[in-house]
Structure 1
Amino acid sequence: MFVHGIGGLRSAGQDQQRWLRALATGARASGHAESISALTQGWLADVRFADYSDLFTPRGAQGAAPGQELDPDDEQLLVGLLDAMLAELAEQSPPETGSREARVIGQARHHLDALASGSQAQGAGEFGRQLVWVTTTLLQLPGLRQTTQWVSGQAFALQLSQVARYLNRRGDRADLGAAIRARVLKGLDPSRPLVVVAHSLGTVVAYEALHAYEGQVPLLVTLGSPLALGGVVLQRLVPRPPLCPENVEAWLNFWDRDDVVVGRPRLADWIAPSSRGVKAESASVKSAGIWTHTATKYLEHGQVADPILRALLP
């Protein structure tokens, strides 16, 4: 099962094929060329792309302004998420280097501080405008500026806000997260082994959903995960305290140093092992190109594809 992350409305069939093609590239690189046809044609496993993207836009909100769907708790979480992202980026490009990247990060930090200091007193419209200042500044970073993932700071802000909306556990806001997890688990057969490959926000969704799943999971693979992106995500995970789902037999977490929404490999330290001693094992990958935070970039790596193919092969 593939579980996607932040983004706009998706075509599950098209995305499934894109992920499979990327996984086939990784399979070839890892010496599994003979299994590619079985993988892409569905002979090796029943493949499912768990699409919950429509649950974020029930009112056709693709044209909504950033902040329109957010309540004060969402805003606080989103500010925390951006703060953690900027902290990670500053580790890569410290201010004392004087590099262009460091200057851009400093400008984004200035805008974020202004956003945080006024977030309690402003309306959703003003919060949204200031939020876009932060994300537009971030898009000046070389790794983001040329990508087609986000064509504007507004698009970047809208999609990042999905993380805040999912993780809000207060009152009726918790219904969205419950609906997303139910969508991911719908139709699964607990009597059959399940291999899960999740990306970005999807790693948080999959992690939480698997705690309520009754079947065995021989392998959980998380790609570009924000699970360890500081306390902003970790402290909102359910159940608490955070620990590896009991039905997961192996958990591999892959991260790219240039991926701006990924915490460093701290999952093994911050998320406790299951009662069987299973915990996340993290490994870094280095992607070519200007944009590394896509599932397909990760799946094209042989070291990512190899354990997935091994888990699927009889």
Structure 2
Amino acid sequence: MTRVLGIHGVRNYKAVDTTPALGAKRLRGDWLEALGSAVPRLDLDTAYYADLLRSRRQGEGEFDNLDEAEVALVEQWALAWGVTPDGVQGRATGWLRWICGEVAQRSGESPAVVEKTVRLFFPEVTRYFDGGRSGVHERVREALLRHRPDVVVAHSLGTVVAYEVLHRLGDELDVRLLLTLGSPLALPHAVFHRLDPAPQDGFGRRPANVRRWVNVADTGDFVAVPKGALARAFPEIEQLPDISIARWWPHSVLDYLRHPSVNGAVMGH
């Protein structure tokens, strides 16, 4: 029996999640449906923290509701694509759409996909780094120690959470495989330089309680940037070849979980 703990990324709060336990149960069902059919003898649980990072602002998800801290992260992300805001006045909706359009042009992706990335990802990342860390860490730490997984599968912002919490746990845990999906861990300044523990001499390191670390990214995943940087910034990572999980939204955790490379990594831990 393979014991797996899933650690989710952004935008996983639903109104039906009236308690963290119910949120975890809903996520477990979704993840089990996506991964369980391909991985026999699977004991899957999920850590849930989405309620801690959700916004109470009206109209969240629209560009004109991003605050200054969120916009600053978008700037750092855009720089990873070689886009600078020089010559663009102000920080209104038009400015952010211009940024997204420039990234879309460089990547060959549609502006709609790029805009969706900005709307969904950066607000929760900002809340995590600006005061949300401790509560999220406690939830994930409790789930790790309760389930004691052989494999940790982390997606999106969840890869940042997993990295930090596993480092904090030290020898309290023994994880055979950390599998990261669509990870922003190498994003300069916005994520990489804010990690705890901080990178040393420009490099992050595999948590000592993790025997093997494997990373997977979709070729069009706008969260997993800069392209190829994760394996350079974390030398102990095994970087699998880039995959294609979905043309129109290449960051979905369920599409990642259904992919044969992810199934194979879990089964071959």
Q: Quote the Cα distance in structure 2 between the aligned partners of 1:197 and 1:82.
A: 27
Q: How does 1:1-314 map to 2 (within 5 A)?
A: 1-7=5-11, 9-10=13-14, 11-24=23-36, 27=38, 35=40, 38=41, 44-45=42-43, 47-57=44-54, 60-61=56-57, 63-64=59-60, 70=67, 72-84=68-80, 86-87=81-82, 109=83, 112-113=85-86, 118=90, 127=91, 129-130=93-94, 132-134=96-98, 137=101, 143=109, 153=115, 156-157=118-119, 159-167=121-129, 173=130, 175-189=131-145, 192-213=148-169, 214-241=172-199, 242-263=204-225, 264-272=227-235, 279-283=236-240, 284-311=242-269
Report the Cα distance in structure 2 between the residues aligned to 1:156 and 1:4, rounded to whole angstroms.
18
Structure 2 counterpart of 1:286, which letter?
S
Shift of 1:131: 5.8
Shift of 1:223: 0.4
2:139 aligned counterpart, secondary structure: helix
**2:97, 2:112 → 1: CA distance?**
18
Looking at CA atoms only, which structure, 1 or 2, has the larger radius of gyration?
1
Amino acid at match of 2:128: Y
Q: Deviations over 1:79-98 (max 9, x none)?
A: 212332x33xxxxxxxxxxx
Paired letter, 2:230: L
Alignment length, in residue pairs?
Answer: 246
SS, match of residue 194 in structure 2: coil
* In 2: Cα distance, 1:205 partner to 1:134 partner: 31
CA contact (8 A) 2:6 2:153 kept: yes
CA contact 1:219–1:250 (8 Å) conserved in 2 = yes
CA RMSD of the aligned region, Å?
3.2
Residues 71-125 of structure 1: per-residue CA shift (max 9 Å, x gap) = x5554333212332x33xxxxxxxxxxxxxxxxxxxxx57x4456x64xxxxxxx
Gapped runs of 5+ residues in structure 1?
39-43, 88-108, 119-126, 168-172, 273-278
| Worse-superposed segment, 7-16 or 245-254 | 7-16
- 2: CA distance, partners of 1:237 / 1:13: 29
Write the deviation string for residues 218-256 of structure 1: whole angstroms up to 9, x where unpaired: 110000111123343211111122211110100000011
Task: State whether residues 117 and 222 of structure 2, in contact with CA within 8 Å, keep that contact through their aligned partners in structure 1.
Answer: no
The farther-off stretch of 129-138 and 210-219 is 129-138
Check whether the contact 2:47–2:143 (CA below 8 A) recurs between aligned residues: no
Q: Is the 8 A contact 1:211 1:246 kept in 2?
A: yes
> 1:74–1:287: structure 2 CA closer, same or farther, 3 Å change rule?
closer
Structure number having the greater helix percentage: 1
Q: CA deviation at 1:143?
A: 5.0
TM-score computed with the length of structure 1 as normaliser: 0.66
Report the Cα distance in structure 2 between the residues aligned to 1:209 and 1:74, rounded to whole angstroms.
Answer: 23
* Cα pair 2:70 2:122 within 8 Å, conserved: no
Distance 1:62-1:185 versus aligned 2 partners, 3 A rule: farther
Is the partner of 1:298 in helix, strand or coil?
Answer: helix
Q: Supply the distance in 2 between the matched residues of 1:159 and 1:12 (Cα, whole angstroms).
A: 20
Looking at structure 2, the residues matched to 187 and 24 of structure 1 have their Cα atoms a distance apart, in angstroms, of 19
